[in-house]
Homo-oligomer: A and B are copies of this chain.
Amino acid sequence: MHRIRLTVAYDGTDYCGWQVQPNGISVQKTLQNAIEDLVREPVALTGASRTDSGVHALGQVAVFDTDREIPPAKYAMALNQRLPGDIVVQKSEEVAQDFHPRYTNVRKTYEYRILGRRMPLPAERRYSWFVPAALDFDAMARAARLFEGEHDFRSFCSQKTDVRSTVRTIYRSELVRDGEIILYRVSGSGFLYNMVRILTGMLVMVGRGRRNAADIMKALEDPRPQAAAPVAPACGLTLVSVEYPDEEKNNKESEPKNN
């Protein structure tokens, strides 16, 4: 038995999210069908993060077990030949039998793209939140830093959240410019339901002058069940990477680079 780990990029626009849903096509099911077509046996595919409908990924991690004797690195190309262009396996490798993609001890990194501009840009319509208003970048950048550290993020998740604790640790929360795009990058040990999208919603409220640093401090210090800001649209969000600390170094070294 081999446990195979895939690193997967996808454009989530046309999917109902990672997870299999009663209606709509999921990324998980599409990928699972491609794997089953290749290995000719039923497989169970487990993902590191259940991204929502419309959310994208550069480095989703997914795992399955198989008895087939295919060289692990060959899965990526073989699966890409069976997948539509909006799902691409970036890397495949064998991992230990006890590796599970949903460790508690992972570091997840998300990026959220905001297009603050008078008119939308067609090529950005699937990959950013178009905000037709003047945004105070510096105020947003300062506000983003306030999320760093261990906090109770109850005010920054959807009510649907059903977890024992709403305390999470954010390692990095920063805003950078990328041409006309304002890019929000956030890394943490884990995120509550809709959390990154609500953090982004708060930053845009700050950028428009409707909330300030004091409002954020208050929402972190006095957590409430209702969300402190609107949920930013799914299309701007990308799961960039899921890192497993004990093997982070190995991953970086074996990553393919050719330019």
The yes or no answer to A190 lying at the interface (CB within 8 A) is: no
Contact bitstring A221-259, B, C-beta under 8 A = 1, else 0: 000000000000000001000000000000000001011
Contact with B along A69-94 (1 / 0, CB 8 A): 00000001000100001111111000
**Interface locus among A112-120, A156-164, A197-205, A210-218:** A112-120
Contacts of A80 on B, CB cut-off 8 Å? Answer: 119-120
**Which of these binds chain B: A35-43, A97-105, A122-130, A145-153?**
A122-130
Query: Can you identify 29 A-B contacts, CB atoms within 8 angstroms?
Result: A9-B119, A9-B121, A9-B122, A11-B123, A56-B122, A56-B123, A80-B119, A80-B120, A85-B120, A85-B122, A86-B122, A86-B125, A87-B122, A88-B119, A88-B120, A88-B122, A91-B119, A116-B258, A116-B259, A117-B259, A118-B258, A123-B126, A123-B127, A123-B238, A133-B258, A134-B258, A134-B259, A135-B258, A182-B259
* Copies of the chain in the assembly: 2
Residue of B nearest to A259 (CB): B116
A171-182 interface mask toward B, CB cutoff 8 Å, 1 = contact, 0 = none? 000000000101
Most buried by B among A87, A121, A127: A121
Task: State the interface size on chain A (CB cutoff 8 A).
Answer: 35
Q: Is A137 an interface residue (CB 8 A)?
A: yes
Closest to A115 in B: B259
Chain B residues positioned under 8 Å from A58 (CB to CB):
121
Q: What are the 10 tightest A-B residue pairs by CB atom distance, in nearest-first order? A: A11-B122, A118-B256, A134-B258, A116-B259, A86-B122, A90-B119, A85-B125, A88-B120, A10-B122, A9-B122
